[in-house]
Structure 1
Amino acid sequence: MPILIRLLILGGTSEARRLAAALVDAPGMEVVSSLAGRVRAPSLPPGAVRIGGFGGAEGLAQWLRDKGIDAVVDATHPFASRMTANAAAASAATGVPLRVLRRPGWTAGPGDEWRWVDSLSEAAALLPSLGSRVFLTTGRQDLAAFAQLDLWFLVRSVDPPQPPAPARMQVLLDRGPFSIDGERALLHEHRIDVLVTKDSGGIMTAAKLTAARDAGIPVVVQRRPPLPAGVTAVPTVDEALTWLRESRGDAGQRE
């Protein structure tokens, strides 16, 4: 069967891997997943994979033209705002349709003590009034905002963080999914009294929120950055697949 859709998945999330798995053997589909390459040993999706940047929006637009890409799904992390902005600009420049696949964010429930912030610098300013032993789960590239605080930090990340970083810090190298019992034990062992995280959404790392609620620990949550103007998002892999099926039908009519 001839190729009807050449799809680029901007990946790095579990949703991106599930989308690639659903499409890699689909008739009429040619799928390439792209990873940023910031993690030493990433979880690779099935099918063709490229690793590394494109050279900004212009480089991505040229890559789309060179490879004859018919559609793009941006399934990057909800906080990968630069990549999403580049994807939106490249889509506008080339006319290649774009959908953003974003899992829903977290919602506070009864018993949760959450403080919402728009930036990690705002989170850092709040921390001294909330606790002295911080569980920091914002990623290894975001420690600079907390480097000047005289607090103790447990920092969890997939790869070792680089300076600048807090002076009083213990690093825990680990990758989700995490269990509620495991997170409870972690909070207890390290006497954590405040949690800092980003509104990543999903179940892979949500257990810490339940553990914090059970322990009566306040949580500082960074809000997601907004999507670029005019960009449409879908919350599930199934909805992304529906959009792609419709795109494939349109491509078949053009043939």
Structure 2
Amino acid sequence: MENKIALITGATSGIGKACALTLAKMGFDIIATGRRQDRLEDLGKELAPRVRFLPLVFDVRDRDKVGEILGNLPDEWSAIDVLINNAGNAHGMDPIQTGSLDDWDAMMDINVKGLLYVSKAIIPGMTERKSGMIINIGSIAGKEVYPNGNVYCGSKHAVDAITKGMRIDLNPFGIRVVGIHPGLVETEFSIVRFKGDEARAESVYKGLEPLVAQDIADIVEFAVSRPPHVVLADVVVLPTAQGSAALVNRNSTK
């Protein structure tokens, strides 16, 4: 019996990589996408020889490239059982009046449009087979708004709304749609947000024990392993030290 297939975007680090390794342990063959070929090659070495692995190098913002690559998958890789829309980022943390248009474009293009481009390429196969699961990795920023979060929060609110819309539209086809919305997770996220300022990025997690990528991958594992009549529709997960998007107890490091 052939393994099921999972496609994970943004699999070169953080949550995406953790999901790829976790699903491989569950017996899934892995399609991993990302912009950094060397990171995908390293992931392939970690997965081998347990499962089949197909690395795809592209930027989810590139609509034509997404359609070209995902629209022409080899036959043996085309029946995708689980899609994890993980690719996303934050750029800058400026108040709306001084925000950068380039930062805004990057967040909307990756977090929202990239998710849509990838989903558009994969959903028709799922509807034809009347099976599949889509897991969208959102954020607590999709449930709340915090100071200087403006456009990032807007992009993640869009992810939340799109996830709910997917669940409604794909319900007749038996496709399960999951939204996972983490709070503070210690990954490369803050380094990207603060444009390489490592000291500022480290301060985000100072004084508390944040979530780690594997915490999110564990939720993905639970969602994927539920029986067909069960969907983990909407999950908000925070570190214990975080009470809301903007409220954090920074004296809680163990």
TM bracket, shorter-chain basis: 0.3 to 0.5
Question: What TM-score do the two structures reach when normalised by structure 1?
Answer: 0.43
Rg comparison, structure with higher value: 1
More strand by share: 1
